[in-house]
Chains A and B, each alone.
Chain A
Amino acid sequence: MKKSLCAALLLSMTLALAGCAGQADTTAETETTEDSTAAETTEETAETEESTDTEAAAEETAPAEVMTHEEYMAADVDTQVTVESYVQATQSWWDDNGQGKITVYAQSEDGAYFFYELACSEEDAAKLTPGTKIRVTGYKSEWSGEIEIMDGTFEFVDDGEEFIAEPLDVTEMLGTDELINHQNELASFTGLTVEPAAEGSDAAFLYSYDGSGSDGDDLYFNASYNGQTYTFTVESYLCDNTTDVYNAVEALEVGQTIDMQGFLYWYEGVNPHITMVTVAE
């Protein structure tokens, strides 16, 4: 719908330009048409020689062998990979130079994935609801410790299967090397104590990592377990300031005992993207 809307608007603009005296109307029409096409196809064509249109990509791409999670993890960085998994959550869809993009947290029975900025129309983004099965082809990458697929395209796999991950309680794994084996999985943390967000402060959270942000930015907060303090994040592209978790973290007080759920994202170490916080009674 969005693309047709844009096309209509661009056409309208063309007509308006044609109405302006002294303009080369045929040139304007031609350029507009060419550009609307380029907007839909250019970037992905440059990188993968596939169409950026999600469904077209699915049709044009030769069937690739779908990897298991184990095979995916064993693959070299920068190699093309194809995996199937189930959407658990998405960051907000956005438009980058006419190229729709969405970042997806996905998980299967055998492991989890982070699909960074998949090419995606806005219509398809709306269909990426939790449990939806998708097949993703892109390049395995590592960015500051986070293993992900970037420059990816996807197609829906309509085989009637759905999967919603149950959170794995990783509280006892905090601070251990074992935790990275569960990178990107939906995880839970139980019985942690809210600590000051910054040394010498009573605040339980910060806007941005050092408090330099404002309402609407990522939230950072600290919580401890067994005497060790860990940092958690409410990623605003995943849970913005209208969500329950964002508001719950803004209401936290130092000393409270909390349970949490979130995805085990990585940035120079574990950096959980928290999606739910409850204060223990």
Chain B
Amino acid sequence: MRKPGKGIAALLGVLCLGLLSGCHGQREQAAFTVPESFDASRDYEITFWAKNDTNINQTEIYKQAIADFQELYPNITVNLRLYTDYGDIYNDVITNISTGTTPNVCITYPDHIATYMTGENVVVPLDGLFADEKYGLGGSELLFDGPKQEEIVQQFLEECSIGGYYYAVPYMRSTEACYINKTYVEALGYTLPETLTWDFIWEVSEAAAEKNADGTYKLNGGDVMIPFIYKSTDNMMIQMLKQQGAGYSTETGDIQIFNDTTEEILYTAAEHTESGAFSTFKISGYPANFLNAGQCVFAIDSTAGATWMGSDAPLVDIAEEALVDFEIEVMEIPQYDPENPQMISQGPSICIFNKEDPQEVLASWLFTQYLLSNEVQIAYAQTEGYVPVTTKAQNSEEYQDYLSRAGEDDDTYYEVKIKASQILLDHMDDTFTTPVFNGSTSLRDAAGQLIEEVVKSVRRKETVDDAYMENLYAEVQALYRLNEYGGPAEGKVDLGPLPGTAKALLGALAAAWVLILLYLAVSSRSRRRKL
């Protein structure tokens, strides 16, 4: 449940790979070509790096999927390695690219793939595999009922397209939702609107921050109340900019985030931090914990965090005696223009790493496709507020039955979870993603850091004014090296013939980088906290 950062190993890896891919003369992995047929007479061992939300049900589904797949393809052994953080996968992949030990199949974000692709033929483009008559999507030789390409939600699939080629398939999709203590909202004299607006959230949050003369909060009579807590401030910034039509980045990687609208957003965050109405996960803690303890009114988190939200949540991180009873409502995130709601589309995708043996890659592809089968899609989507990425699964009787049973229990049919999924299903046309390019991960980190810095500064009684903003922009720009990035990940510019001296130097450097990356990887980590 933590957002990734990047260590120096990752940075150097990016620079190194960018360097190697930008120049000629390096040892390159051959581009993958789809074999004529799958050689079932051989044994294959593939590795699958999977991410779960620290949710045992998800790991069980991965294991079951592997077992079922291996029953169909007994000559393919799938070794599972579990992660609970995208950042850790990212860092490990970067390290393993340099040593040629990438996994075969990997859960990932498209942003990360853009970085992986700075190496030559590292990630397998999937277009050829999609279309293969025998082993492609819905292919004739598949031993399971996988989706056809048109049965993958087109919008989700497009999120995996980089430079006109598919380098991943979507695995699960989620968005963010606002989990609301409706009891508190009504106690304050408000009624939830049909669509949440930012004005409404701020107004109610200010009211909720009011204190009694003895310093306790009027709303809950306690010492702690943070009316509005945002889990992922990068998403907060990105969505607020998008909803206002302000710049973030162009498709080709020009950074636009340092603009006046961003500054307005930061001043707004500062204002409501000062009054005690707003804080963030990184500064105060998990929104769910405050919500469930009656110390928060609005908690914005992923729909994939729905099972942690509410008095009857199946997953709870606070002591039973700290839980309070309240009526919970789950709604789409607040909007500036309720008539044109916009929210982020997020969630894991799957990429395949290239190997010398095309048959091994084909085996990886078969397993990847299996993860898109209804058996896996429906089971995994039910573990959290996820949505299956195929219409085949979404429209299935089994999934529709699941959706219709919201509230039947506080486990499989936990109402908040199913409502969260329904938000995305109802708003698929209102979702967006940010452009993917080499550096888009850093830009995302920077977007969140801007808000985190302002909130911290206000809490520490620092002056937040125009001079502060100017300095903040400069510092964040430098910290995330936003001047260095840009350009589509697939854009390999022909630089002309490489001088002989540079060839020799690069050879030595390549060897050095491998050693350095290995050395740095030992201590490189990405998470702020883990629990």
Tell me the smallest distance from the CB of B511 to a CB of chain A, in Å.
12
Min CB distance, A262 to chain B, in Å? 16
Supposing A19-B506, A213-B84 touch, asked if A96 and B318 sit within 8 A by C-beta, the answer is: no
Residues of B within 8 A of A79 (CB): 460
Whole-angstrom distance between the Cβ of A66 and the nearest chain B Cβ: 20
Which residues from chain B contact A209 at a C-beta distance below 8 Å? 54, 531
Residues of chain B within 8 A of A15, CB atoms compared:
505
Supposing A46-B453, A211-B56, A268-B289 touch, asked if A95 and B509 sit within 8 A by C-beta, the answer is: no
**Contact partners of B285 in chain A: CB under 8 A:** 143-144
Q: Taking the complex as formed, is B110 at the interface, i.e. its CB lies under 8 A from any CB of chain A?
A: no
A45 touches B475 (CB 8 A): yes
Q: Determine whether A210 belongs to the interface, using a CB cutoff of 8 Å to chain B.
A: yes
Chain A interface helix/strand/loop/mixed: mixed
CA distance A268 to B224 in the complex (A): 14
Inter-chain CA distance A31–B82, complex, in Å, is 38
Provide the bound-state CA to CA distance between A143 and B82, in Å: 27
Pairwise interchain contact A210-B55, C-beta atoms closer than 8 A: yes
Residue of B nearest to A45 (CB): B475
| Chain A residue contacts of B512, Cβ below 8 A | 9, 12
From A16, A31, A46, contact of B471 by CB (8 A):
A46
Q: Number of A interface residues, CB 8 Å?
A: 55
> A154 on the interface (CB 8 Å rule)?
no
B496 in the interface (beta carbon within 8 A): yes
Q: Are B495 and A144 neighbours in the complex by a CB distance under 8 Å?
A: no
B481 at the binding interface (Cβ < 8 Å) = yes
B187 contacts partner chain A, Cβ-Cβ < 8 Å: no
Identify which of B19, B23, B54 contacts A208 (C-beta below 8 A).
Answer: B54
Whether A17 lies near B481 (C-beta < 8 A) is: no
Q: Which of B84, B460, B496, B529 contacts A21 (CB 8 A)?
A: B496
Asked, given contacts A46-B479, A95-B9, whether A19 binds B499 with beta carbons under 8 Å apart, the answer is yes
* Bound CA span A45–B284, Å: 22
| A208-231 interface with B by 8 A CB criterion | 208-214, 217-218
Output the least CB separation between A277 and chain B (Å): 21
B308-329 vs A: 1/0 string, CB under 8 Å? 0000000001110010000000
Q: Does A190 contact B (CB under 8 A)?
A: no
- A50 contacts the other chain (Cβ, under 8 Å)? no
- How many A-B Cβ pairs are below 8 Å? 150
**Whole-angstrom distance between the Cβ of B333 and the nearest chain A Cβ:** 24
Interface bin, chain B: 35 or more
Residues of A within 8 A of B212 (CB): none
Establish whether residues A214 and B81, one from each chain, have CB atoms under 8 Å apart when the complex forms. yes
Are A144 and B319 neighbours in the complex by a CB distance under 8 Å?
no
Bound-state CA distance A95–B475 (Å) is 18
Other-chain contact of B84, A93, A96, A217 (Cβ < 8 Å): A217
Contact A97 B5 (CB under 8 A): yes
B459 within 8 A of A: yes
Distance in angstroms from A5 CB to nearest chain B CB is 8
> Does B143 make an interface contact (CB < 8 A)?
no
B472:A16 contact, CB within 8 angstroms? no
A151 B456 Cβ-Cβ under 8 A: yes
C-alpha gap A21/B24 in the complex (Å): 10
| A214 (CB) vs chain B CBs: closest residue | B82
Neighbouring A residues of B523 by C-beta, 8 Å: 92-95, 122
**Known contacts A94-B524, A95-B524, A211-B59; is-contact A78 B460 (Cβ 8 Å):** yes
**Interface presence of A98 (CB below 8 A):** yes
Contact among B6, B445, B472, B501 with A19 in the assembled complex (CB-CB below 8 Å)? B501
Q: Among residues 502 to 531 in chain B, which have CB atoms less than 8 Å away from a CB atom of chain A? A: 502, 505-506, 509, 512-513, 516, 520, 523-526, 528-531
Q: Is B379 an interface residue (CB 8 A)?
A: no
Task: Please report the C-alpha to C-alpha distance between residue A38 and residue B484 in the assembled complex, in whole angstroms.
Answer: 13
A236 to chain B, nearest CB (A): 8
Residues from chain B with a CB closer than 8 A to the CB of A139 are 456, 460
Please state if A97 and B505 are interface contacts (CB–CB under 8 Å). no
A residues less than 8 Å from B23 (CB atoms): 16, 20
Report yes or no: A6 in contact with B8, Cβ–Cβ below 8 A: yes
**Given A19-B501, A45-B475, A212-B59, A269 and B319 touching (CB < 8 A)?**
yes
Q: Which of chain A's residues have a CB closer than 8 A to the CB of B506?
A: 16, 19
Q: B530: nearest residue on chain A (CB-CB)?
A: A218
Instruction: Mark interface residues in B284-298 (1 if CB within 8 Å of A CB, else 0).
Output: 111001000000000
> Which residue on A lies nearest to B481, using beta carbons?
A35
Q: A97-B480, A267-B531 are in contact. List 17 more A-B contacts (CB 8 A).
A: A6-B8, A9-B516, A21-B496, A22-B495, A23-B495, A94-B525, A95-B523, A97-B11, A97-B445, A98-B8, A98-B479, A122-B523, A208-B84, A211-B56, A212-B56, A214-B81, A268-B319
Q: Could you list 15 examples of A-B contacts with CB < 8 Å?
A: A9-B513, A13-B16, A17-B19, A21-B497, A39-B481, A45-B475, A79-B460, A92-B525, A94-B523, A95-B524, A96-B7, A97-B445, A97-B480, A122-B523, A208-B54
Give the 9 A-B residue pairs with the shortest CB-CB distance, closest first. A19-B502, A38-B478, A46-B475, A21-B496, A42-B479, A95-B8, A144-B285, A94-B525, A78-B459
